[in-house]
Structure 1
Amino acid sequence: MATAFHNLSDYDPTTVPNASNMKFGIVVSEWNENITGGLLEGAIETLKKHGAKDENIITKLVPGSFELTFGASQFLKNTDVDAVIILGCVIKGETPHFDYVCAGVTQGITDLNRTSNKPVIYGLLTTNNMQQAIDRSGGKLGNKGDECAITAIKMINFFGV
């Protein structure tokens, strides 16, 4: 369903498992930090709301969205997190750079999910303009960070942790 018809922060909290025994890695792009900061805030607040402990939420910054895949792969290789959430924002510009970055990150995260035994949650906003990004990072359409946190909890619980 298109986000325009669904608030990213709407969900039934009774369907979300308790996250008190779960450990999360969050990789956040510094590019468009006015947007990614809101995504990060939403994700952390939602994880805590469902029982995640501060010490079980590890956040690392990468310079841009293209580096999210590397950051996620390093979390998987070097930590004992149960899931990794990637948060970034790419806004369409005048060149095809948008297409390459979005395709590269999407394929990279898909590959990590295919080859890892831990879920990597896709939280890359790919918008046509800044207003669309604002609307999806805590604005009128909710917060993609909330949605990613809920997805991470549910995917960790997929086979039970």
Structure 2
Amino acid sequence: MATKNLSGFSTASLPPAKPFRFGIVVAQWNAEVTGPLYNGAYSLLLEKGAEESNITTIEVPGSFELTSGADILLSSKNVDAVICLGCVIQGETRHFDFICSAVAHGITEVSVKHNKPVIFGVLTTDNLQQAKDRSGGRLGNKGDEAAATAIQMAALQASLQTTV
């Protein structure tokens, strides 16, 4: 896995993003990583037909705040899916474990609370180089993947709501 571009998926089979409204919540901490993640996600949404006016972006201080940012966004805006983008890099203490666990559980809880897709686009890496490799570097851009997931999940939810 360490030498394979993990973002080598085809976007051709993605449904169009045009009918959907998206939220992107991006952490300011580790901005040299979260900035490229955001650019990848935003670009893919536009490439698949999302209207710029249908993409709402908010910034939060760090990855821990992604959960509350997504909750605030879903409570105040009519969006079909939210993409949470952040980066937590392993340090010398267990802080990494607590933050990663809290963010993963929190994003899931917000998704269930609002019955909307909330996408986990958070890198959890051992070092900065691994994060850079996954945010537009040699291993692709996980921001692209998060946006593709958001499009697929918004389309899935829409298709199930129209058949019931």
Same fold? TM cut 0.5: yes
What corresponds to 1:55 in structure 2?
53
For residues 102-117 of structure 1, what are the structure 2 equivalents within 5 Å? 102-117=100-115
The secondary structure found in structure 1 opposite 2:157 is coil
Give the distance between the partners of 2:3 and 2:155, measured in 1 at CA. 27
> Identity over aligned residues, as a percent?
54
The secondary structure found in structure 2 opposite 1:14 is coil
The secondary structure found in structure 2 opposite 1:124 is strand
TM-score (normalised: structure 2): 0.92
Gaps of 5+ in 2: 160-164
The secondary structure found in structure 1 opposite 2:132 is helix
Is contact 2:11–2:148 with CA below 8 Å preserved after alignment? Answer: no
Cα-Cα RMSD: 1.3
What corresponds to 1:43 in structure 2?
41
Map Cα deviations across residues 120-153 of structure 1 (whole Å, 9 max, x no partner).
0000100000010000000000000000000000
Matched, 1:29 2:27: yes
Amino acid at match of 1:112: V
What corresponds to 1:129 in structure 2?
127
Query: Does 101-110 or 8-17 show the bigger shift?
Result: 8-17
For residues 1-161 of structure 1, what are the structure 2 equivalents within 5 Å? 4=2, 7-160=5-158
Is contact 2:18–2:48 with CA below 8 Å preserved after alignment? Answer: yes
Query: Does 127-136 or 108-117 show the bigger shift?
Result: 108-117
Runs of 4+ in 1 over 2 A off after TM superposition: 3-9, 113-116
Is contact 2:119–2:146 with CA below 8 Å preserved after alignment? Answer: yes
How many pairs does the alignment contain? 159
Give the distance between the partners of 1:28 and 1:147, measured in 2 at CA. 15
Give the distance between the partners of 2:2 and 2:84, measured in 1 at CA. 22
Gaps of 5+ in 1: none
Query: Does 6-15 or 85-94 show the bigger shift?
Result: 6-15
